[in-house]
Amino acid sequence: MPAEWEPQAAVWLSWPHNRTTWSGHFAPIPAKFAEIAAVISRIEPVRINAAGPLQAPARRLIKRAGGDLANIAFFPHATDDCWCRDHGPIFVKNPRTGEVALTDWKFNAWGRKYPRYARDNRVPSRVGRALGLRRFSAGPILEGGSIDVNGAGLLLTTESCLLNPNRNPRMTRAAIEQTLRRYLGVDQVFWLGAGIAGDDTDGHVDDLSRFFRADGIVTAMERDPRDANYGPLQDNRRRLADLRTPNGRRFTIAELPMPHPCFWRGKRLPATYANFLIINGAVLMPAFGQPRRDAEAAAVLAGCFPGRQIIPIDCRDLVVGLGTLHCISQQQPA
């Protein structure tokens, strides 16, 4: 599995339509997706899973947002929801031949938290057929947001998610590691602890800690000891300090601030700057209408990704659905 910063052929999205996901706040969501698709389309191709009736309205919104429609392709793949990172294929690449293929894992809506996911489960096989790519069908349940790789054999994940009995209750830690090695071509799995407050995925790592280069990890940190995220993020920071690269060196760790807590109807939302999306030449960063924190986070990411434009995207509406930029997308390697 290539690192996200490696050259990409396209970014995949799944067009939003499930109103229950947004807790009465669906109205601004299609336009927000159109804004994101438009930004990406001006840099690289965008491929969108969308049932037939969704396509024309989506195309109009993307055009209105200034998207490059020549760089937008729709695929008539019906979905239950929009979280392409988790229900979409996880792409892999043969380093010797350059062949791109996809891995197809089972999806159960984050431990059967939501009733409908059969159409989401079919997305990887449909993408494989549409692109004519080889597909490797893996048995276990795995979501793309629960892992992060450096493209050089290392993978980050969390115990709270992958070891949760609502995913693969008959698999041991060792068995899970072996499956990740087999299907994603990784050599070593690094385990962090728990996720952030408000996260319905049981602690996806893409809300916490991400590789920004082969020997560098950027990790979310909460400064307020009274905040619910302080303890778990401190624990993850300690675990990162104990990790070593294959040559025995410590990783370079960049600390990313957490935004001030965000709420919707009294419920804590999983707002985090770590849910950024790397694309060709740029990084899309979730922003939360907090000028100082947003700017500080952008500065940290600019230091992690020199030469890439940092593009803040206001995600205050998006995070009501309990995810932001990385959650809704999946990169396809070149």
Residues annotated catalytic, as ranges: 327
Contact 293, 306 (CB under 8 A): no
Amino acid in the structure at residue 262: C
For the chain, give the secondary structure using H, E and C.
Answer: CCCCCCCEEEEEEECCCCHHHHCCCCCCHHHHHHHHHHHHHCCCCEEEECCHHHHHHHHHHHHHCCCCHHHEEEECCCCCCCCHHHHCCEEEECCCCCCEEEEEEECCHHHHCCCCCHHHHHHHHHHHHHHCCCEEEEEEECCHHHCEECCCCEEEEEHHHHCCCCCCCCCCHHHHHHHHHHHHCCCEEEEECCCCCCCCCCCCHHHCEEEEECCEEEEEECCCCCCCCHHHHHHHHHHHHHCECCCCCECEEEEEECCCCCEECCEECCCCCCCCEEECCEEEEEECCCHHHHHHHHHHHHHHCCCCEEEEEECCCHHHHCCCCCCCEEEEEC
**Alpha carbon distance 51, 48 (integer Å):** 10
C-alpha dist (Å) from residue 294 to 172, 290, 320: 39, 6, 18
